Amino acid sequence: MQTFAGAYTAIITPFSSDGCTVALDRLAEQVQFQAEGGVRGIVPCGTTGEAPTLDEREHIAVIECAVHVGRPLGLQIIAGAGSNSTAHAIHLHRLAASLGAHAALQVAPYYNKPSQEGLYQHFMAIADSSELPIVLYNIPGRSAVTITPETIERLAKHPNIVAVKEATGSMDSASEIRKRCSIAILSGDDSLTASFAAVGAVGVVSVVSNIVPDRVAQLCRNIATNDFAALRQSHDALFSLSRGLLGLEVNPVPLKCAMELLGRDSGSVRLPLVRASDSIRATIATLLRDAKVTASPAHASR
């Protein structure tokens, strides 16, 4: 069984300038950049990857690219495979397994607002459908329901449910999960990774690592070695950039703007998301400058 700890990048899905097609060549570059930065893995087809706007053909192509490029570089691939339809989530879960992913990210069903028993049965049905490990995705801000620590404790008894991306923003929730079971906890918020580590989290599914994978990887190495003095320094160096990028607009709009400014992406998002405004763009440019994040010569000319 794979273990999941360290820095995982919730990788963007690059689009052509008009947003009509997935830029797989650019995605391959991004995966290579993540490996060079030292992260443990990548998460394609998640929230940051604008999964709801991808058709199945694109969904397959993105995971195939991530696996094809990332696995030989030693990256773990945790493929987004969630749905608010249990049958569709099972389909995507099996698809992720067939494409060579190491695990699947399974989000709490959105819009339906199931009960805790409904959540339990949903995830158990997926876990029973394949031996592919599951990383639960607890993000009530987007799904409108919270997977409670009690339900996570029940789910963690299944051998295929191995980790949880905890994006509740709640230290109490993370603490209660750790108290109840040994499931691996990954922070779902960059600015809270160090705080969650203090109560037992072992890594992060990061947004900001799309542009600074080396810095997020270092922060997670500080967690692994229990070097909390160094962890605080890593956290302080990332905090303003993380809070700034994720507080200006809905993710991944500011992130893709930042990557465009760095020559790493077209900046295109798909409706219903729209590009960052000029004022937000100027603020992001300042954030990048203050954080000393610059384009490499190879990308600056693109």
Q: What is the CATH number of the domain that holds 18?
A: 3.20.20.70
DSSP at 76: E
- Chain-centre distance of CA 133, in angstroms? 16
Q: Confidence class of residue 1 from pLDDT cuts 50, 70 and 90?
A: low
Tell me the residue range of the domain where 176 lies: 6-227
Comparison of pLDDT for 184 and 1, the residue scoring more: 184
Domains: count for the chain = 1
Residue 298's pLDDT is what?
Answer: 58
Extended beta strands in 210-276, E state? none
Mean pLDDT in residue range 197-211 = 97
Residue 2's pLDDT is what?
Answer: 81
d(CA 233, CA 195): 13
pLDDT of residue 161 exceeding 90: yes
Residue 142 to residues 36, 155, 162, 166, 251, Cα–Cα distance (Å): 31, 21, 22, 13, 11
Mean pLDDT in residue range 154-182 = 97
In a domain, 256, yes or no: no
Known catalytic residue: 165?
Answer: yes
* Mean pLDDT, all residues of the chain: 96
pTM to 2 decimals? Answer: 0.96
In a domain, 277, yes or no: no
In contact, 30 and 264? CB cutoff 8 Å: yes
Buried b (16+ CB within 10 A) or exposed e, 189-222: bbbbbbebbebebbbbbbbbbbbbbebbbbbbbb
In a domain, 285, yes or no: no
In a domain, 282, yes or no: no
pLDDT of residue 77 exceeding 70: yes
Which residues make Cβ contacts (< 8 Å) with residue 192, sequence separation at least 6?
Answer: 169, 171
Catalytic residue among 8, 111, 120, 137: 137
pLDDT of residue 156 exceeding 80: yes
Mean pLDDT in residue range 180-194 = 97
pLDDT of residue 297 exceeding 60: no
In contact, 116 and 153? CB cutoff 8 Å: no
Catalytic residue among 157, 165, 179, 256: 165
Which residues make Cβ contacts (< 8 Å) with residue 207, sequence separation at least 6?
Answer: 10, 48, 190, 242, 245, 246, 251, 252, 255
Known catalytic residue: 111?
Answer: no
Q: Confidence class of residue 301 from pLDDT cuts 50, 70 and 90?
A: very low
Mean pLDDT in residue range 224-242 = 96
In a domain, 238, yes or no: no
Mean pLDDT in residue range 279-288 = 97
pLDDT of residue 198 exceeding 60: yes
pLDDT of residue 183 exceeding 60: yes
In a domain, 15, yes or no: yes
In contact, 47 and 10? CB cutoff 8 Å: yes
Mean pLDDT in residue range 219-230 = 96
In a domain, 257, yes or no: no
pLDDT of residue 119 exceeding 70: yes
In a domain, 265, yes or no: no
Mean pLDDT in residue range 143-154 = 97
